[in-house]
Homo-oligomer: A and B are copies of this chain.
Amino acid sequence: MPSAFEKEKDNSLANKSEKITETLKRAILAQRLLPGAKLGERDLAEKFDASRIVIRQALIRLANDGLVTIERNRGAFVKKYSLQEAIEIYDALTLIEQGVAAQLAARLDRAGWQILQDHIKLQADAIEREDNDMADDLGAGFHSLLVSLTNNRVIQDIHAQVVQRSHLLRSLHISRFDYCNLLEEHSKIVDLLQRGRLKQVMELIDHHHHHVVRGYVMDFSDHPAMSLHEALSPFIAEGGGSGASVGTAE
């Protein structure tokens, strides 16, 4: 009876509250809930078929991660970052990734370099296929991959946190940046890193993020912002969602 394989230590989202947190987070990061969108407790409770309490717990977690703001007696909203904050976020990202690069330049082994180059090749293929969504994911994933090679979960978590916030900025800008260019920079980073040209790597990462943030055309107008129901339906198991056009909004 006591099969030895039971204690899987299923750490993944045992709590309803955490599940809701993750779902909301995904909806926000996927830009289905845009900055400024109101996250009413009653509405969410209804959509998730949960009590207001677990909703509030989820909102507290998201607020703690900087993805929503909770205004007293007014409610929770998807966080709207200012241009100044956008710059700070990218500066933080630069700082972290520069530090990671320095660590990796000293410590990474052959297998590690291979992983990075494989990843870059994947992205290059995606671009050739003109699979923009995939290229987007891989392009962002490159940075996370870089960080994960430090084998330091604390740094990974911090980095992930800042990356998440940076996703909130993407809905504030219009122009899509040039993937090829970014890819080339990624490739150059790995190359320089491997050859120990640390200083140039630093400058490149700095330039890389400046390139992104400068590409932003801040757009603080109020977007139409689909309703909560529309925004969340593809994430909550139930028919309703005409899930065709999830990825690309405009």
The B-contacting residues of A in range 155-198, CB under 8 angstroms, are 155, 158, 161-162, 165
Contact (A155, B60) CB under 8 Å given A53-B53, A72-B15, A99-B95: no
A122 contacts partner chain B, Cβ-Cβ < 8 Å = no
- Taking CB atoms, residues of chain B closer than 8 Å to A56 are 57
Q: How far is the CB of A150 from chain B (nearest CB, A)?
A: 8
A131 contacts partner chain B, Cβ-Cβ < 8 Å = no
Q: How far is the CA of A154 from the CA of B209 in the complex (A)?
A: 16
Most B Cβ at <10 Å: residue of A14, A17, A98: A98
A64 contacts partner chain B, Cβ-Cβ < 8 Å = yes
**Contact present for A95 and B100 (CB under 8 Å):** yes
| Set B53, B88, B92, B158: member contacting A92, Cβ < 8 A | B158
Determine how many copies of this chain the complex contains. Answer: 2
**Contact present for B57 and A154 (CB under 8 Å):** no
| Set B61, B88, B95: member contacting A153, Cβ < 8 A | B88
**Contact present for B152 and A162 (CB under 8 Å):** no
Contact (A92, B162) CB under 8 Å given A64-B65, A98-B99, A99-B98: no
Report, nearest first, the 4 A-B pairs whose CB atoms are least far apart.
A95-B99, A92-B154, A64-B64, A88-B154
Chain A residues proximal to chain B, CB less than 8 Å = 14-15, 17, 53, 56-57, 60-61, 64-65, 72, 85, 88-89, 91-92, 95-96, 98-100, 102-103, 150, 152-155, 158, 161-162, 165, 202
Using A14-B72, A60-B60 as known contacts, list a sample of 18 further A-B pairs with CB atoms less than 8 Å apart, ordered by residue number in A. A15-B72, A17-B60, A56-B57, A57-B60, A61-B64, A64-B65, A85-B153, A88-B152, A88-B153, A89-B154, A91-B103, A92-B155, A98-B99, A98-B102, A99-B99, A102-B202, A154-B162, A154-B165
